[in-house]
Structure 1
Amino acid sequence: MAVKKETLENLRQEYISEKLSKRDVDKDPIKQFGKWFKEAMDAGIHEPNAMTLATTSIDRKPSARIVLLKGYEERGFMFYTNYLSAKGKEMSKNPVVAIVFHWAELARQVRIEGTVEKLSKEESDRYFQSRPKQSQIGALISPQSQVIEDREDLEKDWKEAEIRYENKTIPKPAFWGGYLIKPQVIEFWQGRPSRLHDRIVYKKADKTSWKIVRLAP
């Protein structure tokens, strides 16, 4: 049953939370992200590393999906996927991407824009071997984003791979690996009462420094 338009129009949440100012944030946005990420974990948020990844096709059609952050450092933000998936193909044609973290329980969002590049084979191999064997098999046998006849074929391939690699190391498939998002813009959004939210944005000034500005909500 459809939700009435009037119900959606009146669906509101008042934000009562802490403030965010240019004086209080770290000069380094990666360190500021680390502070917020730890607070999200400490708050018991389910999968605080879940992020929306937005990519664009060569004909400028946007697409977005949830992926999991698997690391962050001064270089940027890391995740792993199938290179031949829809997002993998789009990133190979247009490396400009955006990601968004939403931690509703803390009334916070982090929005990041930047360019993406593949992680080294060594980094991807290392992470792949750290995954549970079931996840390794899933990555190996799934033709991600491609049309399949039915689920039964996928489950059959999974069982065959499970038998084939019993007590054996599963090599990382060549079509699977990691990406590094190198940020150019990082925005920290803190919900505040009366929709007067705090928005602090870091913009890359040069290779080592950032310009910090405040945006109107």
Structure 2
Amino acid sequence: MPAAASDVDDLVLHGPRVLGFASTGRIAAHYGLDPDDVEDHLLGHGARGWVGTASFDGTSGWFLTAEGRAEDERRMSAELERTGAREIAGAAYADFLPLNARFTRVCTDWQLRPTRADPLAANDHSDRRWDERVLRALGTLGRELTAATAALAGRLQRFDGYAPRYTSALARVDGGQWQYVAGPGIESCHTVWMQLHEDLLATLGIDRGSEG
């Protein structure tokens, strides 16, 4: 059975939840949608009080209101029921949690290189063995992420891009573009991972604070 495609109106509302503060173009690109169509849906959501607009540091974008967040979670829950994917999504989330704990530690190791004098010393990337260990861990996590999300990606089409995007970011890292480990504002390993995490939370209606 082919993976179920989400309703475009649902995806457009879901975009600011997954991406955070995001422009029309960024939401459209994330889901492979027409920007003009996305803009029309966003204006409709805005009229209902589900999304708002703001400008920050020279950029403008959309964000979910509290009412929009509740509506998004209602729609995601309905999609799980409609597609019979609730159990699969729950299993994917359960498999993701221990990977997430490891990913957090790996990102910390990429950013920090403790010394006896300073346990919070920044990683200056002069220790090649340290960095190689981190990069191997990122690769292992990528393979495990693919396995953990395969069933869900096979049921809900909107989840099928996370593992390939992570792999693509890791390939850039392997090519010497180290900013693709955890760089903000780009399709880095960290960006993709955080978006997947938020997507799982929103889809299952889980409060991030309950993770501890």
Q: TM-score normalized by structure 2? A: 0.22
Higher-Rg member (1/2): 1
Structure with a larger share of its residues in strand = 1
Structure with a larger share of its residues in helix = 2
